C-alpha cells in the first residue's frame, strides 16, 4: 500500500485519531514503531518510515512502542484500498486463519494460488501472511501480559503459541525484553472474568447499537440494558459469555469475557470487533455521503453509525430466515424457542440439522429452509466462499430453497460484512426512503461501495 509521507507526517504531528490503525511510524533513531496518536515527542521526518501494518514494522526489525501500544489500535477499516480478495484474505488472517493451517490452506479458502496470495498480501500490507499472523500473536500476547493477570502458560496458548518456550523466545525477540518485564498490574475482574478494551475510531453510535441489539435480543441468549449488551456464545469448541460496555473517554468498548477455552480467546476478540463494526472509519463514510440529500442528514443526526453484525455468518442466516415477513420482535421470540430447543444457545449447522423444530411455531416451509441452510453450511468451505464476492454470494444463496433477494442481501450485510450489500426490497427501507423497491435500488447505485451504511442510516433514522 502506497503511503503519502507528507500526509502521514501531518497526521503524526496532529496526533489525528482518524488515521489510527491506518499506518504505523517506524522511527530509525529509536528502533520503535508507533501509532499516529502516540503522545511521545515528535520524531524528525528524516527518521520516519511509514508502513501499512504492524507486521510490516515488526518484519523490518522495529519494536512496538510501550506508550501508544500498537496492539491496542483499531484495525484497518475494511482494508481500504485493497482488492476484494486480498482484503478478505487479510481479514481471515486477522481472524486467526493461519492458526489451524498454513498459507496453502488459506489460499484454497480464498480461491488463489499460494504464491499469488503471498504477493497480494505483501503488496497491500507490507508483510507476508506468516509475518502478519506472527505479529498478530505477539501483539495479542502483549495485550494479555499488560492487561490481565493470566499465567504466562495461559497467555501463550490464548495467543496461538504451541509452547511456553516458543512464546518466551518470540516475545523476547520481537519486543526486546522477556514477558515478565512487560507485566503490569493485571486488570482482571472478580470471578475470573477477563476485561479487554476494544478500540474504535470515534465517533461511535453506542446508543444506536444498543437500540438495534435490544429490539432483536433472543430470549435466554442475549440481554440488553441501557448501558450494556451481554450474550452467551459458542465458538468452535469454546463456550462462554461476554458483556460489552462503552468507555467513550478511552474510545473503547470494554468486553468482560468468560471463556472455557483460552486458546480461542483471540478469535473471540476478532469476532467481537466484527460484531460491533469497530474497524469502520465513520468520518470517511460520512465524507463519502456528504453530498447525498437522503443519507448525509441521517449520518449527521446519528454520528458514528455502525453496521452491527451477527455473531457469525450462520447465525445471520438463521436470523434472516426466521425473520422473513414477520416483525422483528416476533422473530426474536421464535429464535428464543429454537435456542431453548437446542440447549439454550442459537444452534450451529450440525445442531440445527439435528434439531426437532416442530414445537417452535415455525411453518413447514420455514423449517425446510432452515434445514437447507444447515446442510449448505456444513459443506466444507461453503460459508468461506460467500465472503469474497457479493454477486457470487447472492447467486449461491438464491439457489437455496426459500431464499429470496432480501434474505441473501441481509445475510451478506449482517453475516458476511459485505459493505456494499443492500436489501432494496426491505419494507422499512422503502418506507423510510419513500421509494418503491425499483426506485430505491436505482438510487442506491449512487452509494456504492458503501450501500450497507446507507441501509443502516435509513433504518437508524426513519425521517429527516
pLDDT on residue 144: 93
In this predicted model, what pLDDT tens digit does every residue of 19-31 receive, in sequence order?
888 899 999 999 9
CA 279, CA 221: separation in Å to the nearest integer? Answer: 25
- Distance (Å) of CA 244 to CA 80, 205, 335: 27, 14, 22
Give the list of residues 6+ apart from residue 382 with CB closer than 8 angstroms, or none. 376
* Grid cell for residue 143: 495485550
List the single range of 126-140, 208-222, 311-325 with lowest mean pLDDT: 126-140
**Maximum separation of any 2 CA atoms in the chain, in Å:** 70
Mean pLDDT of the chain: 91
* Grid cell for residue 338: 429454537
Rg from Cα positions in the chain: 22
Q: Are the beta carbons of 369 and 403 closer than 8 angstroms?
A: yes
How many percent of the chain have pLDDT more than 70? 96
69 φψ region: left (φ > 0), alpha (ψ -120 to 50), beta (else): left
CA 257, CA 65: separation in Å to the nearest integer? Answer: 26
Q: Binning pLDDT at 50, 70 and 90, where does residue 125 land?
A: confident
b/e string for 238-276 if b means 16 or more Cβ within 10 A? Answer: bebebbbbbeeeebbbbbbbbbebbbbbbbbbbbbbbbb
List the single range of 52-61, 120-129, 327-336 with lowest mean pLDDT: 120-129
Mean per-residue pLDDT for 28-39? 95
The number of residues in the chain equals 464
* HSE-up (13 A, CA, CB side) for residue 61: 4
Answer whether residue 180 shows pLDDT above 60: yes
Answer whether residue 108 shows pLDDT above 90: no
In this predicted model, what pLDDT tens digit does every residue of 323-345 receive, in sequence order?
998 999 999 999 999 999 999 99
pLDDT on residue 157: 92
List the single range of 85-89, 313-317, 399-403 with lowest mean pLDDT: 85-89
Q: Binning pLDDT at 50, 70 and 90, where does residue 264 land?
A: very high
Region 313-460: CATH code: 1.10.340.30
Active site residues: 34, 426
- Cβ-count burial of 193 within 10 angstroms (0-12 exposed, 13-18 middle, 19+ buried)? middle
Q: Binning pLDDT at 50, 70 and 90, where does residue 186 land?
A: very low
CA 138, CA 58: separation in Å to the nearest integer? Answer: 10
* Grid cell for residue 45: 521526518
Q: Binning pLDDT at 50, 70 and 90, where does residue 394 land?
A: very high
Mean per-residue pLDDT for 241-252? 96
Closest CA to 449 of 416, 412, 418, 423: 418
List the single range of 40-44, 97-101, 156-160 with lowest mean pLDDT: 97-101
Q: Binning pLDDT at 50, 70 and 90, where does residue 253 land?
A: very high
CA 87, CA 93: separation in Å to the nearest integer? Answer: 10
Q: Are the beta carbons of 127 and 59 closer than 8 angstroms?
A: yes
Answer whether residue 54 shows pLDDT above 90: yes
Answer whether residue 441 shows pLDDT above 50: yes
pLDDT on residue 189: 47
In this predicted model, what pLDDT tens digit does every residue of 291-319 receive, in sequence order?
999 999 999 999 999 999 999 999 999 99
- Give the domain 5-72 fold: DNA Methylphosphotriester Repair Domain (3.40.10)
Mean per-residue pLDDT for 172-185? 85
Ranges of each domain in the chain = 5-72, 86-182, 190-276, 313-460
Answer whether residue 190 shows pLDDT above 60: no
More confident residue, 185 or 90: 90
pLDDT on residue 318: 98
Give the list of residues 6+ apart from residue 147 with CB closer than 8 angstroms, or none. 184, 186, 187, 195, 196, 197
pLDDT on residue 330: 96
- Distance (Å) of CA 387 to CA 98, 101, 396, 412: 17, 19, 11, 8
pLDDT on residue 99: 79
Region 86-182: CATH code: 1.10.10.60
Region 190-276: CATH code: 3.30.310.20
More confident residue, 346 or 107: 346
Mean per-residue pLDDT for 31-47? 95
Amino acid at each position: 500500500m502506497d503511503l503519502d509521507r507528507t500526509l502521514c507526517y501531518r497526521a503524526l504531528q496532529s496526533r489525528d485519531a482518524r488515521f489510527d490503525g491506518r499506518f504505523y511510524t517506524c522511527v530509525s533513531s529509536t528502533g520503535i514503531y508507533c501509532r499516529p496518536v502516540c503522545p511521545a515527542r515528535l520524531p524528525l521526518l528524516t527518521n520516519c518510515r511509514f508502513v501499512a501494518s504492524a507486521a510490516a514494522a515488526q518484519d523490518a526489525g522495529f519494536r512496538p512502542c510501550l506508550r501508544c501500544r500498537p496492539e491496542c489500535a483499531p484495525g484497518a477499516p475494511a482494508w481500504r484500498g485493497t482488492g476484494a480478495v486480498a482484503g478478505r484474505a487479510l481479514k481471515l488472517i486477522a481472524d486467526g486463519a493461519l492458526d489451524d493451517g498454513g498459507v496453502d490452506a488459506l489460499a484454497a479458502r480464498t480461491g488463489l494460488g499460494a504464491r499469488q496470495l503471498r504477493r497480494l498480501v505483501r503488496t497491500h500490507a507490507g508483510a507476508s501472511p506468516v509475518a502478519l499472523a506472527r505479529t498478530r500473536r505477539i501483539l495479542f500476547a502483549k495485550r494479555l501480559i499488560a492487561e490481565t493477570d493470566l499465567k504466562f502458560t495461559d497467555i501463550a496458548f490464548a495467543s496461538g503459541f504451541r509452547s511456553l518456550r516458543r512464546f518466551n523466545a518470540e516475545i523476547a525477540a520481537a519486543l526486546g525484553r522477556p514477558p515478565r518485564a512487560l507485566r503490569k498490574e493485571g486488570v482482571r475482574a472478580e470471578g475470573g472474568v477477563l476485561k479487554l478494551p476494544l478500540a474504535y475510531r470515534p465517533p461511535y453510535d453506542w446508543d444506536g447499537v444498543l437500540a438495534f441489539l435490544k429490539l432483536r435480543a433472543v430470549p435466554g441468549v442475549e440481554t440488553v440494558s441501557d448501558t450494556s449488551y451481554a450474550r452467551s456464545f459458542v465458538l468452535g469448541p469454546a463456550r462462554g459469555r461476554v458483556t460489552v460496555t462503552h468507555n467513550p473517554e478511552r474510545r473503547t468498548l470494554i468486553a468482560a469475557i468468560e471463556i472455557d477455552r483460552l486458546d480461542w480467546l483471540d478469535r473471540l476478540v476478532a469476532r467481537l470487533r466484527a460484531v460491533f463494526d469497530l474497524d469502520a472509519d465513520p468520518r470517511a463514510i460520512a465524507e463519502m455521503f456528504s453530498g447525498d440529500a437522503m443519507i448525509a442528514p441521517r449520518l449527521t443526526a446519528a454520528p458514528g453509525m455502525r453496521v452491527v453484525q451477527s455473531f457469525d455468518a450462520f447465525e445471520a442466516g438463521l436470523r434472516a430466515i426466521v425473520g422473513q415477513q414477520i416483525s422483528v420482535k416476533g422473530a426474536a421470540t421464535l429464535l428464543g424457542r429454537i435456542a431453548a430447543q437446542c440447549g439454550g444457545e442459537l444452534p450451529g449447522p450440525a445442531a440445527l440439522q439435528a434439531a426437532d423444530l416442530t414445537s417452535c411455531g415455525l411453518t413447514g416451509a420455514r423449517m425446510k429452509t432452515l434445514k437447507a441452510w444447515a446442510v449448505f453450511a456444513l459443506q466444507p468451505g461453503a460459508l468461506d466462499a460467500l465472503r469474497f464476492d457479493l454477486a457470487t454470494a447472492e447467486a449461491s444463496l438464491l439457489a437455496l430453497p426459500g431464499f429470496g433477494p432480501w434474505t441473501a442481501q441481509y445475510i451478506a450485510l449482517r453475516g458476511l460484512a459485505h459493505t456494499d450489500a443492500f436489501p432494496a426490497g426491505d419494507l422499512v427501507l422503502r418506507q423510510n426512503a419513500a421509494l418503491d423497491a425499483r426506485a430505491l435500488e436505482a438510487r442506491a447505485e449512487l452509494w456504492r461501495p458503501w450501500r450497507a451504511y446507507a441501509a443502516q442510516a435509513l433504518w437508524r433514522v426513519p425521517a429527516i
